[in-house]
Chains A and B, each alone.
Chain A
Amino acid sequence: GQNIDQPTEMTATEGAIVQINCTYQTSGFNGLFWYQQHAGEAPTFLSYNVLDGLEEKGRFSSFLSRSKGYSYLLLKELQMKDSASYLCAATDSNYQLIWGAGTKLIIKP
Chain B
Amino acid sequence: ETGVTQTPRHLVMGMTNKKSLKCEQHLGHNAMYWYKQSAKKPLELMFVYSLEERVENNSVPSRFSPECPNSSHLFLHLHTLQPEDSALYLCASSQDRGSASYEQYFGPGTRLTVT
A79 and B42 alpha carbons, distance in the complex (Å): 26
Tell me if A45 and B103 are in contact (CB < 8 A): yes
Could you tell me if A31 and B100 are in contact, using CB atoms closer than 8 angstroms?
yes
- Chain B residues lying within 8 Å of A4, measured Cβ to Cβ, are 42
B100: nearest chain-A partner, CB-CB: A30
Q: Which residues in chain B, 81-106, are within 8 Å of chain A measured between CB atoms?
A: 90, 97-101, 103-106
B100 touches A50 (CB 8 A): yes
- Return the chain B residue nearest A96 by Cβ: B45
Residues of A within 8 A of B66 (CB): none
Among residues of B, the one whose C-beta sits closest to the C-beta of A90 is: B100
Task: Please encode chain A, from 31 to 62, with 1 for each CB lying within 8 Å of some chain B CB and 0 for all others.
Answer: 10100000001111100101000000000000
Residues of B contacting A98 with CB < 8 Å? 42
Number of A-B contacts defined by CB within 8 Å: 45
Given contacts A96-B56, A99-B43, A101-B42, contact A44 B100 (CB under 8 A): no
Q: CB distance B97 to A42 under 8 Å?
A: no
Query: In the docked arrangement, what's the CA distance between A76 and B86, Å?
Result: 36
Report the separation of the CA atoms of residues A101 and B37 in the bound assembly, to the nearest whole angstrom.
9
User: Which residues on the A side are within 8 Å of B42 (C-beta)?
Assistant: 4, 98-102
Q: Which residue of chain B has the shortest Cβ distance to A33 in the bound complex? A: B103
On whether the beta carbons of A95 and B97 are closer than 8 Å, the reply is yes
Q: Is A43 touching B41 in the complex (CB atoms < 8 A)?
A: no
Asked whether A31 lies within 8 Å of B40 as measured between CB atoms, the reply is no
Is the Cβ of A41 less than 8 Å from the Cβ of B45? no
A42 touches B98 (CB 8 A): no
Contact of B43 with A87 in the complex, beta carbons under 8 Å: yes
Partner-A contacts on B (CB < 8 A): 4, 40-43, 45, 56, 90, 97-101, 103-109
What are 8 A-B contacts with C-beta separation under 8 Å? Answer: A42-B109, A43-B43, A43-B90, A45-B103, A89-B43, A97-B45, A97-B104, A99-B43
